[in-house]
Amino acid sequence: MTKRHTRTWLVTCISSALACAAVSSAAHAESYDMLLSQVLADEQAIIDEQPEGLALVMEAVKTLDNETVEAITAGNPNNPANVKRVEALVSEEDWNYLFVQRHESYTYLNLLKGIGKYPAFCGDYDRDAEAICRKSLATMFAHFTQETGGHNIHDPVPEWRQGLVHVREVGWTEDAAGGYGECDPGIWQGEAYPCGTFEDGSYKSYFGRGSKQLSYNYNYGPFSHSIYGNVEKLLNEPELVADTWLNLASAVFFYLFPQPPKPSMLHVLDGTWQPNDKDLASGLVPGFGVTTMIINGGVECGGSVEIEQSQNRIKYYREFASYFDVPIADDEVLGCAGMKSFDAGGAGALNVYWEEDWGWDPDTPTGDTYKCQLVAYQGPQSAFVEGDYRRCVEAKFDVNIINDLEGVPPTADAGGDISLYSDNTVVTLDGSGSHDPYGEVVSYQWLQVEGNTLDISDAEKEKASVTVPKVDVETRYGFKLTVVDDDGEAASDTMTITAKVIPENFPPTVELAGPESVKATKVATITATVEDPDDTEFTFNWRASNGIELNVAEDNLSASFVAPEVESDTMVTVWLDVTDSVNDPVTAAHTILVEPISTDEYPAWELGKTYVEGDRVTNLGDNYECKEFPYSAWCGVAEVYKPGEGAAWEQAWIKL
């Protein structure tokens, strides 16, 4: 624990400055007692006061446990949802074609594992998840090729397909010492992210490794924590970033994590980041170009002309965008010439690092706040790391934190119920959702409580497993998980595995997706996803509520209709019956709210007009409301934001 520095007191010293100093010294003679519950409450209150962007980032950087990641294999039906989405867009054949000259360490499996570690990459959205995934892949692959490509214009393989040639920065080897490290323990980077050492005591090097060419100990440390829950693993074994699936996970990590005042590339591409006036004045606008500014803006951006490296990235992006059917708008800014750097006044300057709160609190003996605050500049403690707020308070103040939360039980989470067609299938019992917000879960115990007895492997671990046999009748197996925390408090939860009889022919699975609401007289489109392991030919029957006339696509995988005119909000339902070669029809449904045409009259939208939050306009017969700051800065700035028409209008306007 670091001794708190002496604060200058705002008091009147009656006798002398020496007496004043004595008062201050006495006030710091003893540690200040704080309750852990208050520390945690302070932390949550500070986070709650932050803009929504912080919560969105904290959600985006969540990770999957490594055991589940290691279980990922190509084509595995148990792969995470985001991995399945990527597999549908990038097959192993695609991977071999796109990166034909890649280093042998960049395997297709490593790609899937690197993506699987971070569920937000190509994850589900309330927007077009597949379109965002396509654009994310095209963007990331273009940067791969610039960072690690062969760049041989004489090679018969085009340059854009020469990516991932290098797994280590050219000229560096694993036995090289003292490179790319801020290792001095007297500075915060060296203290927070202590460099690993060779046997002779020299520091290891943190040169560029992997598809992102991750560099410096203060980047290896956070990445290590993201993967392993501690900073030491990769600081001591940096070679793992080159030789394992981390060589591609490191790029996904960099894609998702912001570096304030820079936003994350994910939030640039998915529309979450919206530039404010400060960003616009610096030329920072959504598009591929600003992702180059995020990656290497200090070297490649800001000049009067587009330099060669940035031109390469643009060229590669166009090729990958074409390959992945990513449309590039005519007005998308692809380069970064003339762009100024992100700064503290920009929309991406989120406060994500803990720093001392230097304020004044008259209710404490010393006047200190005994709190930390969130700031945008990098420091050793992060809002993304559980427990870092407490570490900041302990580092900045002389405190004694008393655990007043003993006796509060943990939360047990045995995972969701599972239903499957089983043929001696190994099923994981996943208790990783169990937690203790005030301490630590120290023991796990799985017990079967229903059904014929199955052997539980690793019954005393967070994740156990059972082999579910093939059954002749539908059979249930119940399990209970009991967890105990470091105070000896226990809690339990149950889950059920239902083993179903394997049919001679599996029925199809059918899912419908579409808008939740539509204005009267507007077109709504519903799309279908049909999967069946043993049939490829199906009979489709689209149906809808009375009065709805469906226009069914030629491939039967989508249908659209013109929403009827209604006087009040009206629900309509669309159904799809799908029949395979043997089974009865399987039906899916999607319900949409049809809203009446608004009779409110608002002025027409005007190009170049300054709009503020709440301003309303009419365009194409519909009404729109300007979003809150900083999005309001876009409402009248360009045709691309023209409500209902411009390619990016939803970034600035809310349709009423």
Question: CA 193, CA 355: separation in Å to the nearest integer?
Answer: 17
pLDDT of residue 601: 66
Whether residue 645 lies in the annotated active site? no
pLDDT of residue 560: 94
Helix axes 246-256, 129-148, angle to 10 degrees: 120
- The secondary element (H helix, E strand) that includes residue 549 is none
Contacts of 437 (CB under 8 A, 6+ apart): 40, 411
Pairing of strands 622-626, 441-450: unpaired
Asked if residue 110 has pLDDT above 70, the reply is yes
Question: CA 285, CA 634: separation in Å to the nearest integer?
Answer: 10
**521-563 per-position pLDDT tens digit:** 888 999 999 999 888 899 999 999 888 999 999 999 999 999 9
Instruction: Name the band, by pLDDT with cuts 50, 70 and 90, for residue 637.
Output: confident
The more confident residue out of 351 and 597 is 351
Pairing of strands 570-579, 558-562: unpaired
pLDDT of residue 216: 95
Which two three-digit tokens encode residue 167? 């797994």
104 CB-contact burial (10 Å; exposed 0-12 / middle 13-18 / buried 19+):
exposed
pLDDT of residue 376: 87
Tell me if 586 sits within 8 A of 544, measured CB to CB.
no
Which two three-digit tokens encode residue 262? 């820079």
**233-248 per-position pLDDT tens digit:** 999 999 999 999 999 9
Tell me if 37 sits within 8 A of 61, measured CB to CB.
no
DSSP string for 363-407: TSSSS----EEEESS--S-BTTSTTHHHHHHHHHS-EEEE---TT
Active-site hit among 43, 104, 130, 147: 147
Architecture field, domain 188-256:
2-Layer Sandwich (3.30)
pLDDT of residue 550: 95
pLDDT of residue 378: 84
pLDDT > 70: percent of the chain: 95
Could you identify the residue written with the tokens 């290497």?
Answer: 296
**358-382 per-position pLDDT tens digit:** 999 999 989 999 999 999 888 899 9
Domain 509-595 falls under CATH 1.10.1740.10: no
Query: Quick one: average pLDDT of 194-205?
Result: 96
C-alpha closest to that of 183 among 203, 208, 159, 155: 203
- Residue ranges of domains in the chain: 17-49+351-402, 188-256, 418-500, 509-595
Query: Quick one: average pLDDT of 160-164?
Result: 97
C-alpha closest to that of 432 among 464, 406, 456: 464
Identical fold, 188-256 and 509-595: no
pLDDT of residue 630: 74
pLDDT of residue 244: 97
In one-letter notation, the amino acid at residue 373 is Q
C-alpha closest to that of 374 among 391, 361, 389, 359: 389
Max mean pLDDT range (26-30, 412-416, 595-599, 648-652): 412-416
Question: CA 421, CA 471: separation in Å to the nearest integer?
Answer: 9
The CATH class of the 418-500 domain is mainly beta
pLDDT of residue 598: 66
